[in-house]
Amino acid sequence: MHPTFIFLIFVLLLTTLPQSRCQPNDPVCGQQPYNCGSLSNISYPFWGLNRPSFCGGGDSFNLKCHANDATTSIQIGSQNFTVKEINITFQTMRVVRPDLVLNVCSPHVNNTGLGSSLFKYGSSVYNITIFYNCSLSLDASFGHFSCGNEITIFRDGPQDELLRKFPWIARCRRYVEVPVDVPYDNSGGLDFLQQAFDSGFPINYTVLNNPKSVTGATVAGLLICIAIFYIRYRSSNCKGDFGLATKSNKNIEAFLQNQGALTLKRYKLSDVKKMTNNFKVKLGQGGFGIVYQGKLSNGSPVAIKMLNEAKNNGEDFINEVASISRTSHINVVTLLGFCLEGRKRALIYEFMSNGSLDKFIYRKGPEAIAPLSWDNIYQIAMGIARGLEYLHIGCNTRILHFDIKPHNILLDDNLCPKISDFGLAKLCPRNESIISMSDARGTMGYVAPEVLNRHFAGVSHKSDVYSYGMMLLEMVGGRKNINADASHTSEIYFPHWIYKRLELDTDLRLEEEIMPEKKEIVKRLIIVGLWCIQTFPNGRPTMSRVIDMLEANMNSLEIPPKPLLSSPTTSLPESSIS
Ligand SMILES: *[C@@H]1O[C@H](CO)[C@@H](O)[C@H](O)[C@H]1NC(C)=O
Ligand SMILES: *[C@@H]1O[C@H](CO)[C@@H](O)[C@H](O)[C@H]1NC(C)=O
Ligand SMILES: *[C@@H]1O[C@H](CO)[C@@H](O)[C@H](O)[C@H]1NC(C)=O
Ligand SMILES: *[C@@H]1O[C@H](CO)[C@@H](O)[C@H](O)[C@H]1NC(C)=O
Ligand SMILES: *[C@@H]1O[C@H](CO)[C@@H](O)[C@H](O)[C@H]1NC(C)=O
Ligand SMILES: *[C@@H]1O[C@H](CO)[C@@H](O)[C@H](O)[C@H]1NC(C)=O
Ligand SMILES: *[C@@H]1O[C@H](CO)[C@@H](O)[C@H](O)[C@H]1NC(C)=O
Ligand SMILES: *[C@@H]1O[C@H](CO)[C@@H](O)[C@H](O)[C@H]1NC(C)=O
Ligand SMILES: *[C@@H]1O[C@H](CO)[C@@H](O)[C@H](O)[C@H]1NC(C)=O
């Protein structure tokens, strides 16, 4: 025979060989049940042990039968699973990840990947995401346990959705998604997880009857992949659509990558237009840009801050995303997403129906707002203190806000206060109390003396305490601490005015009488406020101490020294004017 002919026959044989694989109806091997490890009555498409591969449905169905410990395992993708059950009739099996059962704390635990189109999660399967190495857990809907000294938390749901909903978990160092099918229970902690891992989860498998359909499936799979890739690419947000992407945008992109902030939802400008109904309802405006009211596609209301285009290389944008994407606290506003497209930069926040605190304090102008009760004022003071304490010591990185003032405190439907506007914020290591800063930042009237004049003292978290104190005094006094339309220049320095009233025990508000039972709240707020605005940072309490003082027994509160007259004379542009 001619060698070419032999070669052709050889090729023909090779290409037809797969079809000689035994078929489900093959009476000889495929349908004969056999036992493997713990399992009995196994048949096609599974093979392994004494059953040769040509009797099975392909490499994916190779069972490893361990006689010594009577277990059966299978490798799917790169993962090794223990098989607990196989149901040939219904084409399902129940598998367990032995690595998780053995040591859920292992730093080598990976996501579960089925990595093959032949296997699908059963319909009852859902993911639990485990977040390792978290600094703290603040949400009771998470289960938790510890791995050594590290706090580990978990919650039902895929990781990206959880990260979107609870941006603070981005601080956990590592996440793993694990499929389970027992009902979620956060209270069981590690025991619940162990039980869920032990029972494993169901997988449906697909039997391919001949190699043609394998080819068909591969081609179809490939087409689907290409389609998905294309759709993803098309909807992959704002990147460089306009060729306007400036150098600073590249820096921002690099920064976002670095921060892992891309776990925040990124929106296209066209989405933002849709959400705001083409920027129809304006909520506010300031030095930073304009805030519009909007609606997400699921109907939840949002506030969308469009940052000014020309400003400082997007530093305010970076500040805001960097600071706030690290936080999750009931008293800190939640950033839901952002948009970065050409020169348009938008930040998307949860919507606060009652607007900012200033309109409740100053109550000027025609839109008369019902005044806050003293209990409301106390609760708001407490909430802001808790939010600030959290920013100062609650995260791995200390966040200094540098622009605490009534405009930047938002109130939800229940008048729960949330700290917002992190455009001037600074991040710094927690072990460093004094920070270096080249510029003066803040708003006149609230800015601490050391921020205006570095020779005075070092800038630190105590600078936020000062602003908080000034705001507290305004809340009590029901007026601005500096009179913008100061008609009489002889006006007394506001803290002195308050101090005088504290000494004389006279009412603060001329237009209203304070009920005797509320006088204590008022006095307490004044004392705390005056401590906070002590001229030298060392004389001011930390935010934790402020909370203690707000809760403490009245008799234990010392009257602070009268603040030195330090009404700032340097003029500082208002950073954000509403
Ligand atoms: C073995 O499995 C087949 C289905 O593949 C089923 O019909 C049969 O009843 C099973 N036999 C035993 C002994 O469980
Ligand atoms: C898979 O896990 C089993 C334990 O369930 C183990 O006996 C087996 O050696 C593992 N196989 C591989 C390839 O890691
Ligand atoms: C397979 O699953 C079905 C439905 O859950 C069940 O009725 C049947 O008994 C199972 N068969 C085996 C062999 O486990
Ligand atoms: C937590 O982080 C430390 C340091 O990065 C690492 O050594 C340790 O393995 C981590 N723990 C877990 C459970 O991931
Ligand atoms: C987890 O994934 C990493 C990276 O893909 C790999 O190096 C490691 O071996 C995997 N660990 C296990 C237990 O499969
Ligand atoms: C898996 O198989 C079961 C039993 O045949 C079926 O009820 C279920 O819908 C299947 N799930 C998926 C995701 O295909
Ligand atoms: C669970 O997470 C994995 C990635 O780890 C993903 O492939 C799978 O589709 C998710 N399953 C469900 C039911 O969401
Ligand atoms: C705060 O908002 C809620 C809901 O929008 C409203 O019912 C309530 O009257 C507001 N409170 C004040 C004090 O305006
Ligand atoms: C703070 O901690 C970092 C890293 O642990 C260290 O490099 C730095 O010197 C520390 N600073 C102070 C003031 O202790």
Mutate to test the pocket of ligand 2, among 80, 81, 83 (most ligand atoms within 8 A of CB): 80
Give the Å distances, CA to CA, from 167 to 126, 128, 139: 21, 17, 12
115 CB near ligand 9 (under 6 Å): no
> Mind listing the pLDDT tens digit for each residue in 311-342?
556 677 777 777 777 677 889 998 888 888 87
In sequence order, what are the residues at sequence separation of 6 or more whose Cβ sits closer than 8 angstroms to the Cβ of residue 245?
239, 342
Q: What was the pLDDT predicted at 229?
A: 38
Q: What was the pLDDT predicted at 169?
A: 82
305 is in an annotated binding site: yes
> Mind listing the pLDDT tens digit for each residue in 281-297?
988 876 678 889 999 98
Q: Find the ligand nearest to 173 CA.
A: 4
More confident position, 116 or 118:
118
Q: Find the ligand nearest to 113 CA.
A: 7
> Mind listing the pLDDT tens digit for each residue in 60-103?
889 998 888 888 999 988 889 999 999 999 999 999 998 888 88
In sequence order, what are the residues at sequence separation of 6 or more whose Cβ sits closer than 8 angstroms to the Cβ of residue 312?
none
First to last CA, the chain: 93
Domain range annotation of the chain: 34-205, 245-350, 358-577
Superfamily of domain 358-577: Transferase(Phosphotransferase) domain 1 (1.10.510.10)
Find the 322 Cα to ligand 9 centroid distance in Å: 21
pLDDT mean across residues, the chain? 77
Find the 107 Cα to ligand 4 centroid distance in Å: 6
CATH T-level assignment (fold) for domain 245-350 = Phosphorylase Kinase; domain 1 (3.30.200)
More confident position, 344 or 368:
344
Atom of ligand 9 nearest to the CA of 432: 13
Find the 195 Cα to ligand 1 centroid distance in Å: 29
> Mind listing the pLDDT tens digit for each residue in 183-216?
998 888 889 999 999 999 999 998 876 433 335 3
> Mind listing the pLDDT tens digit for each residue in 404-425?
999 999 999 999 999 998 888 8
Q: Are 398 and 389 in contact (CB under 8 A)?
A: no
pLDDT at residue 538 greater than cutoff 80: yes
Average pLDDT over residues 457-461: 89
> Mind listing the pLDDT tens digit for each residue in 498-513?
787 777 766 666 556 6
Model's pTM, two decimal places?
0.50
> Mind listing the pLDDT tens digit for each residue in 368-396?
567 788 899 999 999 999 999 988 887 66
Atom of ligand 3 nearest to the CA of 41: 13
Q: What was the pLDDT predicted at 245?
A: 39
Q: What was the pLDDT predicted at 10?
A: 40
Find the 235 Cα to ligand 8 centroid distance in Å: 38
Picking from 33, 29, 39, 115, the residue whose alpha carbon sits closest to that of residue 73 is: 39
- For CA atoms 87, 88, 94, 99, the dihedral sign is positive
Catalytic positions? 403
Give the closest residue (by CA) to ligand 2 atom 8. 73
